[in-house]
Amino acid sequence: MKPLLTFFILLPALMLSFKPSAPAPVFLSPANMQHELEILHSAFSQFHPGLYRYNSPEQIDSLFNRAKIEAQKPLTERNYYLLLARLCEKIKCGHTYPNFWNQKEEFKQRNFSSSVLPLLFCVKDGKIIITHNLSQSKVNAGDELLGINGITAKSLIDTLLQVSRSDGENGMNRKLDNLGIYPFMTDTTEYSLFDVYAPMCFPALYEPAQYKCTIRTASGKNRTVLLQPLSKAQRLHEYTARFGTLASGENSWYLNQLSTETALLHIGDFATWNWKRDYSAFLDSIFLALTQNGTTNLIVDIRGNEGGLDDARDNLFSRLIAEPFVKPQAQRLRTFLSVPDSMRKYFRTWNTDLYRPQSKAEFSFIENRFYIPINPPAGDTIYPRKNAFKGKCYLLTNATNSSAAFTLAQMFRQAKCGLIAGETTGGNMKGINGGQFFMCYLPHSGIEIDIPLIWYRPLKALPDAGINPDIPVQITPQSIAQRRDPALETVMKMIEKNK
């Protein structure tokens, strides 16, 4: 009886350690992929206002022709997803990509790795620098990750840059920033580019038994560590256990009183649509407290903020200005007035008004491609709120800032609210594509591609660049190792000096 008893005692442990074998890969036929590429090419040509901003029509045709050549043989879902992601990256639009959140659950379960690396990191100067260790092995913040499972850091970076999205030609800082895994990405509802694409690009990283990592320490010594994979839930647990509550979503908006004169307001994103908290009422309470406390210096930290709702951005901005601010005028360029049934069947959108045909009489047709309203709405004016901050203001930025976060930095500078410190933002002063979207679901693979529908083109030509800080401050491996914040330190020293 003892052997049988032992078996039943061990059975629960065996079941916990058992990991079902990976499902057999799903292959897509050349005929189906060719059909989908034709659909996507047509959808981009008809509806994407930024398709020819950085590529000529001939170059776009060539990109699709090369994709079709790759799709002349059966491809797995993962390889086809990569093909589409690389194609979208060539459009040079930060809002055009196979959106992780919009893929069907069955596709994600089959193709997104359920295992994640127990390290968080950023990419600086072509190096992968570890910021947080969530493993049981000795790895320190500031150490350099040289390779994983035989794949060099250079190979990882070069390969993942091919699927990293940004706006315009000068988007390398943003593209490199996309490769990092940051604390907010440990939320189980979030995705990082590395988590999704690295296992697709490198099979050795797809649900491995372990991660064999080569690390270079701060002292310059190379060492090898073996790390156990985590699930996304385990990674979140380890992060919160070691570093505290995750500052994401609603928790990413908070105020720290740094001294009697100085406060820091952190705004992690403007994606407020699913919040339970009324963000406007929250800001009311924050700025009332700043007024009552006699705070004279406010540091607004939007580093890591990728954007979200313009209304949330404007609500914050209205509390940073002393005079009414007229938003910079921009042409709202679109490429269609109606959606044919032949294309509509592939689209989903949260704004079904987009399907309603527009009157041709209300638009001018310009440059042989764009429709622009004959009577555009008057420029929006943002008015200062009661208890708007009246002291000295500083804005902390980095390369993550795009979309609504980029435009906040742009308006902050135009309104002369204060000084900007940190790193150059993402986004593009030449205007971004966004505002409204079609989610294009391809009929055979079921893969979804985001297609932005409005190009907000400035009335005058502006540089192909983000917003440069008044006070450039870079993060270094040394500052990461010491858990220092150089940008915040620099601003605090400036405030102290100006007392």
- Kindly state whether residue 371 falls inside one of the protein's structural domains: no
- Rounded CA gap, 153 and 410, in Å? 34
DSSP string, 409-451: HHHHHHTT-EEEEES--SS-TT--EEEEEEEEE-TTT--EEEE
Residues 393, 274 share a domain: yes
- Kindly state whether residue 138 falls inside one of the protein's structural domains: yes
Could you identify the residue written with the tokens 């190792």? 481
- Kindly state whether residue 373 falls inside one of the protein's structural domains: no
User: Longest C-alpha distance within the chain, in Å?
Assistant: 89
Q: Measuring CA to CA, which residue among 299, 267, 296, 294 is closest to residue 283? A: 267
Residues 292, 174 share a domain: no
Q: Give the total number of structural domains in the chain.
A: 3
Contacts of 482 (CB under 8 A, 6+ apart): 142
Residues 416, 270 share a domain: yes
Q: What is the pLDDT of residue 346?
A: 98
- Kindly state whether residue 450 falls inside one of the protein's structural domains: yes
Model pTM? 0.92
Identify the CATH number of the domain in which residue 103 sits.
3.30.750.44
The model's pLDDT over 163-219, given as tens digits with 9 standing for 90+, comes to 999 999 888 999 999 999 999 999 999 999 999 999 999 999 999 999 999 999 988
Q: What is the pLDDT of residue 13?
A: 38
Which of 201, 220, 243 is at the close of a domain?
A: 243
A 10 A CB-CB count for 206 gives 17
Identify the CATH number of the domain in which residue 206 sits.
2.30.42.10
User: Which residue numbers in the chain have pLDDT < 70?
Assistant: 1-22
Task: Decide the pairing of beta strands 330-333 and 347-348.
Answer: unpaired
- Kindly state whether residue 10 falls inside one of the protein's structural domains: no
Residues 393, 310 share a domain: yes
- Rounded CA gap, 353 and 438, in Å? 12
The model's pLDDT over 233-260, given as tens digits with 9 standing for 90+, comes to 999 999 999 999 999 899 999 999 999 9
- Kindly state whether residue 65 falls inside one of the protein's structural domains: yes
Residues 149, 225 share a domain: yes
Residues 96, 50 share a domain: yes
Which of 190, 221, 243 is at the close of a domain?
A: 243
Residue span of the structural domain in which 78 resides: 27-108+334-358+434-455
A 10 A CB-CB count for 421 gives 22
Do residues 276 and 250 make contact, with C-beta atoms less than 8 angstroms apart? yes
Residue 113 CA, chain-centre distance (Å), reads: 19
Residues 227, 164 share a domain: yes
- Kindly state whether residue 85 falls inside one of the protein's structural domains: yes
Q: What is the pLDDT of residue 18?
A: 41
Q: What is the pLDDT of residue 255?
A: 97
Residues 402, 440 share a domain: no
Identify the CATH number of the domain in which residue 392 sits.
3.90.226.10
Q: Measuring CA to CA, which residue among 327, 173, 198, 183 is closest to residue 269? A: 183
Which of 214, 243, 272 is at the close of a domain?
A: 243
Task: Give me the torsion for CA of 228, 232, 234, 238, rounded to 10°.
Answer: 90
Residues 257, 126 share a domain: no
- Kindly state whether residue 478 falls inside one of the protein's structural domains: yes
Residues 309, 218 share a domain: no
Residues 219, 153 share a domain: yes
Q: Which two tokens stand for residue 38?
A: 């034709």
- Burial string for 87-124 (b: 16+ CB within 10 Å, else e) reads bbbbbbbbbbbbebebbeeebeebbbbebbbbbbbbbb
Q: What is the pLDDT of residue 499?
A: 80
Residues 203, 97 share a domain: no
